[in-house]
Amino acid sequence: MLSWKLPRLLNVHQVPKVFHEDSIICGYRSPTCSATACVLSLFQLTNETLNIWTHFIPTWYFLWRLLALLSSPGSYHDPYLWPLFVYLLSCCIYPLMSTCAHTFSVMSTQARHICFFLDYGALSMYSLGSAIAYSAYIFPDRWVNSTFHLWFVSWAVFNTIISTGMSCYSRLGLPILHYNQHQIERFPEEARPRLSKVLRVTAFAYPYLFDSIPVFYRVRLGRTLGGDVMISINKLDEFLSIKL
């Protein structure tokens, strides 16, 4: 029979070091929680409450926007909107995966690593979705069909792979697929926490800086969107408008 009693919370000295969070001294869940206990913990104040709900609520907002766009007449047959579909889908996947990672990461030490590997992958996929949207809608006219434009998405795919691999390495080291909970000294987070943090920040910052090159170009020149792009935006507004 299921028990609906909220799980007992622990302080930082009662959980393994791998579960510790900087400056958080209480509100930890048991590192051997069941899936049911993880779900029940959504309704109590834990060290992950803010992370979970600030990702869970936006997931439903972006899903609503995606479904609204998909339900618009003729949207399936308009190639101009396909990059927007991809971008909105990545907007749904990233916060949903992050919600799951923060919710179920206390089932075990191994589950914690797996959850955050998936979280890192979803975040990298979001950067790829952004690159696809930028390639379709943001590129300056003079860059369209240039070598940089033609290779922009392919380069973003490469960045996604490298970003995911680097962020996973920053957590568990190499080989990533080999796991032994009794050899925590091989974890970069344990041995060199500052290096681990730098690698992870770099892994996520670089793809977004790369994706934003067309935006930086527009900002630097102080240009406003041209006529063709304004027509495109009006077209997007027509499909994205929600009739309440």
Tell the residue number behind the tokens 């050899």, with chain if given.
183
Cα separation, 172 vs 227, whole angstroms: 50
Q: CA separation (Å) from 209 to 62, 143, 190, 194?
A: 23, 18, 29, 22
DSSP 3-state percent helix, strand, coil across the chain (nearest 5): 70, 0, 25
pLDDT at position 24 is 86
pLDDT at position 227 is 46
Task: Give the residue with greater pLDDT, 192 vs 241.
Answer: 192
Residue 79 C-beta-side C-alpha neighbours within 13 Å: 1
Cα separation, 240 vs 68, whole angstroms: 7
pLDDT at 173 over 90: no
Q: How many helices (H) and strands (E) does the chain have?
A: 9, 2
Per the annotation, binding residues are 102
Task: Give the residue with greater pLDDT, 139 vs 5.
Answer: 139
pLDDT tens profile 177-197: 555 554 544 455 666 667 788
Confidence band of 59 (pLDDT split at 50, 70, 90)? very high
Mutual orientation of helices 82-104 and 109-137 as an angle, nearest 10°? 160
pLDDT at position 172 is 76
Residues in contact with 31: Cβ distance below 8 Å, sequence separation at least 6, in sequence order: 15, 16, 19, 106, 108, 109, 112
pLDDT at position 244 is 37
Reading the block at residue 224, the tokens are 């406003």
Per the annotation, binding residues for Zn(2+) are 102
pLDDT at 237 over 90: no
pLDDT at 53 over 60: yes
Confidence band of 175 (pLDDT split at 50, 70, 90)? low
Radius of gyration over alpha carbons of the chain, in Å? 21
In this prediction, residues 14-32 reach a mean pLDDT of 86
